[in-house]
């Protein structure tokens, strides 16, 4: 076992006897301590503690590939090193120290990691703590150290004389955690604390009220700031407006009850800087924050945003920022939800979440590493006025980019200047319009095509359709000259030109100023005023606050189209049209009259009797039942998908209540199976190709060339869809699919940039 304890064997050649003996001892000991049904986690470079393997396979992997270097530097938590250290400490009689209970040991370790003091404090004979003279000197952590000592003092206090299971701090944290999980009111905690103080023996150190308990927890740095807001979303009552009692723009009162000073609307701001510093205060996460530079495989394959052109472009333009791998790249996501869990209530509250892309793939999109920065109150969505609520966050991001903050790196045991950049935002399409400033409805609904969006208003359906995808094909493609299968015209246009960030900023600045607030004139009245401006540009609603970040106009991709919602909407349109589900089908009588207006496809025009001729995608009732039966009878492994049989009614040939992930599974896995025996080849082939497009797009590993080929394939697929379906089928969500592969080539795999982890 001595060879196993000494980690120097990891530095020796893997073919030598000493290395092989140490591997055997390591695996044998791990099997005794950390085994699970005869298997244990493999810590080799390939598996990285993600797979459970048999002991002999683990030995083979460690000899062939070696141990993961990040895991080698840390405590082997999956293989029993913590138990080994604990057992040695208990058996060591030379120390003469008293045994500490498990709760106290965990609490001390948590505080050391959380507050970054693990390498900088020492316990004195009296039980107090002091900084190491050599390591703590000159690091500028006076406030953190004082806070640490205060918490350590509470961690050493007994809950009551003779208590062995809890100390004061651990019990308070456990009680607060229970309150949050079970949604206890503050009054219920006050009553419980009163009861506990009566029950516990004399000399108990328990707070008497909840607010006293909360002050202790606030020292951990997990609090937030309350910023009052105008009830009409005109401004925040902070900075120069901090002392005002009424809104300067609309005159609304700051308080809904003036006497009691109860604010009408409160923004919760969770300070970002402190939370980012905490990522480096723990030695374990400090190592992971370097993964994008030190642990990533750099072979030109897209596996992570760090492999993408968007990441490298920022590094190339700002070499000082890229010089330190510890500088952080973030993604911002926001969406509205009903906090009360009742969909019948129209209450919308908007959290603003941040994802840290420095972390490896198995960490960065997990909820434990997502940071809530803002909680925008309801009951109405902020809409275009969301920039007002983003001001505190943008101020922090500007400070983190231009000045930086001194941060203690517990892995390197040094202070460094931390800088942060925001790479992009992640939203569904309506929220995309709020955060980007682009109008996502009407003539210029596509933010990529910009003013070159191909839009046609359908008079009978009362909606815009977005076709004309032939312009994205090669110049010599025969579809350009095919008039009868499309809109009756030869296509001479070229693909829309992509605008840079500086071009977009110039467009935003042309001709009008946006006024925030729900009390301002309605959009149509604003539009009349704006159209009087000489250089008015129709597509933009406002200049967004993100352009106050110095680097924002230099980014290759600023706002992501959400693959999750686009895939769901396309799936709903396809299934609703094929099954002719009322309210969801795109083949209605009004859609057929649009063909009459456009003088297209005379064989599909409605008869004088009101009869609608069958189209090539029209299915009989028997074919619909076959289609539905495939979806309802298929079985999946546990946890792979929901029970789709509950969503499908085979008798009436209807599908209802599909969630986003249900559509994801149907679109990529089930649709090709269900279409094989139900539709003509010219229809089923193009829909299967569409299914394959989304499956390839969502792959976790790909190259830029793969996505470039996919970009051309989707343009061909959409052209074939134009030959099959009616113009009413082509809403903006169908059109946006043509830009998804381009964004993937720029920014990397889509599962880092969609709403699944955010909404979950």
Give the pLDDT confidence of 82-98 residue by residue, as tens digits.
Answer: 555 444 444 444 433 34
Q: What are the angstrom distances between the C-alpha of 665 and each of 7, 52, 634, 636, 643?
A: 46, 27, 12, 10, 11
Strand partners, 158: 167
Rg (CA), the chain: 31
Is pLDDT above 60 for 103? Answer: no
pLDDT surpassing 90 at residue 343 = no
Domain ranges of the chain: 2-88, 270-431, 563-759
Q: Do 22 and 79 meet the contact criterion of CB atoms below 8 Å apart?
A: no
Compute the mean pLDDT over every residue in the chain, rounded to the nearest whole number: 83
222: three-class secondary structure by DSSP: coil
% pLDDT > 90, the chain? 41
Q: In the prediction, which pLDDT does 569 show?
A: 94
Helix (H, G, I), strand (E, B) or coil at 33: helix
Using left for φ > 0, alpha for ψ between -120 and 50, and beta otherwise, residue 14 falls in alpha
Q: Residue 666 — very low, low, confident or very high, per pLDDT cuts 50/70/90?
A: very high
Backbone angles phi, psi at 151, to 5 degrees: -70, -35
671 vs 102: CA distance, rounded Å: 54
Per-residue three-class SS string for 419-453: CEEEEEEECCHHHHHHHHCECCCCCCCCCCCHHHC
pLDDT score of 498 more than 60: yes
Handedness of CA 599, 602, 604, 606 (dihedral sign): positive
Mean pLDDT of 559-569: 94
Q: Which residue in 685, 649, 664 sits closest to 750, CA to CA?
A: 664
Q: Is the pLDDT of residue 698 over 90?
A: yes
H-type helices in 304-385, by residue range?
A: 309-317, 319-322, 361-364
Is residue 718 pLDDT above 90, yes or no? yes
pLDDT at 555 over 70: yes
Q: In this model, does residue 113 exceed pLDDT 70?
A: no
Distances (CA, A) of 247 to 36, 252, 253: 62, 5, 6
Tens digit of pLDDT for each residue in 5-46?
A: 667 788 788 878 888 888 888 888 888 765 445 778 888 888
3-state secondary structure of 15: coil
> What tens digit of pLDDT does each residue of 159-189 get?
888 887 777 878 888 888 888 878 889 999 9
**DSSP state at residue 206:** -
Q: Residues with Cβ < 8 Å from 678, sequence gap 6 or more?
A: 619, 623, 624, 626, 627, 684
Average pLDDT over residues 424-446: 91
Q: Report whether pLDDT(692) > 60.
A: yes
Q: Of 719, 737, 735, which Cα lies nearest the Cα of 482? A: 719
DSSP category for residue 584: T
**111 has a pLDDT exceeding 70:** no
pLDDT at residue 429, as a whole number: 92
Judge whether residue 708 has pLDDT over 90. Answer: yes
Measured CA to CA, the distance from residue 121 to residue 108 in angstroms comes to 11
Beta-carbon contacts of residue 63 (< 8 Å; ≥ 6 apart): 14, 19, 20, 23
User: Collapsing DSSP states into helix, strand and coil, what is residue 302?
Assistant: strand
- Sort 214 into a burial class: Cβ within 10 Å, 0-12 / 13-18 / 19+: middle
Predicted model pTM: 0.77
Determine the Cα–Cα distance for residues 661 and 666; give it in Å rounded to an integer.
Answer: 9
Instruction: Yes or no: say if 348 and 340 are a contact pair by the CB < 8 Å rule.
Output: no
pLDDT in tens, 589-607: 999 999 999 999 999 999 8
Quick: pLDDT tens for 385-421.
Answer: 899 999 999 999 999 999 999 988 888 888 899 999 9
Among residues 570, 606, 566, the alpha carbon closest in space to that of 588 is found at 606
550 pLDDT higher than 50: yes
Give the pLDDT of residue 116.
52
Nearest to 472 by CA among 452, 445, 501: 452
Spatial distance between the Cα atoms of 327 and 248, rounded to a whole number of angstroms: 39
Strand order of the β-sheet with 559-560 is 225-228, 266-269, 371-376, 350-356, 328-334, 420-426, 559-560
Output DSSP code: residue 247.
-
Rounded to whole angstroms, the Cα distance separating 351 from 388 reads 14
In angstroms, the Cα distances linking 374 to 325, 377, 388, 391, 429 are 27, 9, 12, 10, 20
> Which residue from 122, 142, 118, 149 is spatially nearest to 413, judged by alpha carbons?
118
> Is the model's pLDDT at 576 over the cut of 90?
yes
Q: Which tens digits make up the pLDDT trace of 231-260?
A: 999 999 999 988 888 998 888 999 988 788
Please give the full DSSP string across 680-712, using - where no structure is assigned. -HHHHHHHHHHHHHHHHHT-SSB-HHHHHHHHH
């Amino acid at each position: 076992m001595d060879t196993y304890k000494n980690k120097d064997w990891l530095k020796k050649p893997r073919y030598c006897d000493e290395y092989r003996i140490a591997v055997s001892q390591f695996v044998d000991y791990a099997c005794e301590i950390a085994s699970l049904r005869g298997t244990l986690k493999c810590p080799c470079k390939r598996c990285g503690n993600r797979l459970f393997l048999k002991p002999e396979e683990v030995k083979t992997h460690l000899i062939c590939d070696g141990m993961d270097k990040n895991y080698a530097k840390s405590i082997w938590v999956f293989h029993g090193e913590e138990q080994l250290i604990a057992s040695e400490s208990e058996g060591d009689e030379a120390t003469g120290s008293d045994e500490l209970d498990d709760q106290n040991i965990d609490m001390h370790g948590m505080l050391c990691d959380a507050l970054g003091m693990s390498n900088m404090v020492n316990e004195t004979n009296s039980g107090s703590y002091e900084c190491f003279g050599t390591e703590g000197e000159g690091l500028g952590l006076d406030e953190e150290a004082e806070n640490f000592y205060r918490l350590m003092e509470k961690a050493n206090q007994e809950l009551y004389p003779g208590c062995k299971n809890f100390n004061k701090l651990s019990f308070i944290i456990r009680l607060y955690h229970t309150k949050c999980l079970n949604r206890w009111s503050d009054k219920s905690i006050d009553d419980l604390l009163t009861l506990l103080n009566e029950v516990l023996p004399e000399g108990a150190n328990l707070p008497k009220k909840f607010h006293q308990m909360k002050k202790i927890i606030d020292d951990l740095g997990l609090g937030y700031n309350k910023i009052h807001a105008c009830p009409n979303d005109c401004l925040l009552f902070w900075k120069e407006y901090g002392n005002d009692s009424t809104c300067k723009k609309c005159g609304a009162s700051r308080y809904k009850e003036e006497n009691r000073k109860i604010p009408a609307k409160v923004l919760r701001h969770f300070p970002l800087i402190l939370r980012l510093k905490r990522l480096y205060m723990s030695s374990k996460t400090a190592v992971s924050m370097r993964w994008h530079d030190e642990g990533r495989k750099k072979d030109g394959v897209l596996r992570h945003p760090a492999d993408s052109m968007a990441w490298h472009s920022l590094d190339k333009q700002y070499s000082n920022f890229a010089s330190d791998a510890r500088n952080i790249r973030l993604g911002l996501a926001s969406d509205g939800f009903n906090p009360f869990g009742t969909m019948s209530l129209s209450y919308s509250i908007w959290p603003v979440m941040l994802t840290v892309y420095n972390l490896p793939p198995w960490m960065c999109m997990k909820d434990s590493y997502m940071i809530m920065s803002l909680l925008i109150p309801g009951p109405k969505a902020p809409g275009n006025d969301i920039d007002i609520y983003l001001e505190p966050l943008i101020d922090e991001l500007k400070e983190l980019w231009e000045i930086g903050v001194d941060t203690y790196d517990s892995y390197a045991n040094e202070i460094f200047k931390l800088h942060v950049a925001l790479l992009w935002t992640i939203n569904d399409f309506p929220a995309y319009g709020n955060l980007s400033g682009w109008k996502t409805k009407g003539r210029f609904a596509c933010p990529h095509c910009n003013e070159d969006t191909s839009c046609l208003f359908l008079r009978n359906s009362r909606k815009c359709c977005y076709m004309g995808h032939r312009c994205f094909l090669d110049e010599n493609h025969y579809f350009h000259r095919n008039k009868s299968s499309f809109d009756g015209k030869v296509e001479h246009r070229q693909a829309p030109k992509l605008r840079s960030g500086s071009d977009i900023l110039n467009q935003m600045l042309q001709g009008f100023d946006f006024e925030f607030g729900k009390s301002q004139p309605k959009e149509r009245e604003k539009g009349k005023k704006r159209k009087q401006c000489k250089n008015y540009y129709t597509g933009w609603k406002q200049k967004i606050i993100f352009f106050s970040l110095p680097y924002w106009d230099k980014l290759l991709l600023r706002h992501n189209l959400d693959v999750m919602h686009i895939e769901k909407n396309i799936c709903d349109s396809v299934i609703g049209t094929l099954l002719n589900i009322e309210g969801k089908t795109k083949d209605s009588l009004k859609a057929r009259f649009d063909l009459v207006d456009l003088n297209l496809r005379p064989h599909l025009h409605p008869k004088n009797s009101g009869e609608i001729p069958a189209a090539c995608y029209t299915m009989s009732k028997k074919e619909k039942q076959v289609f539905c039966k495939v979806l309802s009878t298929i079985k999946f492994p546990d946890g792979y998908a929901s029970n789709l049989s509950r969503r499908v009614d085979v008798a009436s040939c209807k599908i209802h209540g599909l969630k986003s992930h249900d559509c994801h599974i149907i679109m990529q896995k089930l649709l090709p199976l269900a279409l094989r025996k139900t539709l003509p080849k010219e229809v089923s082939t193009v829909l299967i190709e569409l299914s394959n497009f989304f499956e390839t797009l969502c792959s976790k590993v790909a190259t830029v060339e793969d996505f470039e080929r996919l970009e051309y394939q989707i343009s061909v697929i959409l052209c074939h869809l134009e030959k099959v379906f009616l113009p009413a089928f082509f809403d903006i969500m169908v059109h946006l699919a043509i830009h998804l592969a381009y964004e993937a080539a720029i920014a990397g795999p889509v599962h880092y940039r969609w709403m699944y982890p955010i909404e979950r």
